[in-house]
Amino acid sequence: MQFRLPHTICNSHIKRTMITYLKVIWRMNNFIIILACSAFLLSGCAKDQEKISTLAESAYARGLFEKPLPPKHFQSDGCSCWFDGDWVDCCVNHDLVYWMGGTRGERKVADIELRRCVSAKGHPFIAWTMYMGVRIGGVWWLPTSFRWGFGWKYPESGPPGKTY
């Protein structure tokens, strides 16, 4: 006598196996997508430093700052952790304000100005993405080279007397 599993048990086993297989493929696809996006964003690390330095010198020369100035010399890396498109001048101007540091309100104004500048160049989605990035990653308390008030010695976030 041959033992056979009921038809419903075989189908449910096949369904579970297929669902498990599809979940694995879905996770692999998500990983590949995340990896590709990360590579695209990190490709911004290859920058035209000569162009950025020229923009930085020009922005610094135009800047009207209240004394005292930060002890560290102003330098820009363009669009930190992002690729430099035709909006790199927006990033350099943003870096100049971040270098100086100051109050929470001044930081918010600088971030909104970055968003407005990039959007005015015809890139509203990139502008909003960059805005969210600087709001999250540009905080004063992270010891990064692009934090709010990076011209001052960590953990200061701006000139003496201007608290965040």
Instruction: Determine the average pLDDT of the residues in 73-78.
Output: 94
Assess whether 59 and 91 both reside in one domain: yes
Q: Are residues 20 and 96 in the same domain?
A: no
Whether residue 64 sits in one domain with residue 40: no
Mean pLDDT score across all residues of the chain: 84
List, for residues 99-121, the tens digit of each pLDDT value. 999 999 999 999 999 999 999 99
Domain that holds residue 17: 7-44
Assess whether pLDDT exceeds 70 at residue 83: yes
Q: How many domains does the chain have?
A: 2
Mean pLDDT over 154-162 rounds to 90
Do 59 and 113 lie in a common domain? yes
- Residue 54 and residue 91 in one domain: yes
Q: What is the per-residue pLDDT across 127-155, written as a single tens digit (0 to 9) for each?
A: 999 999 999 999 999 999 999 999 999 99
All residues at 6 or more sequence positions from 118 whose CB lies less than 8 Å from its CB, including other chains: 87, 90, 126, 127, 130
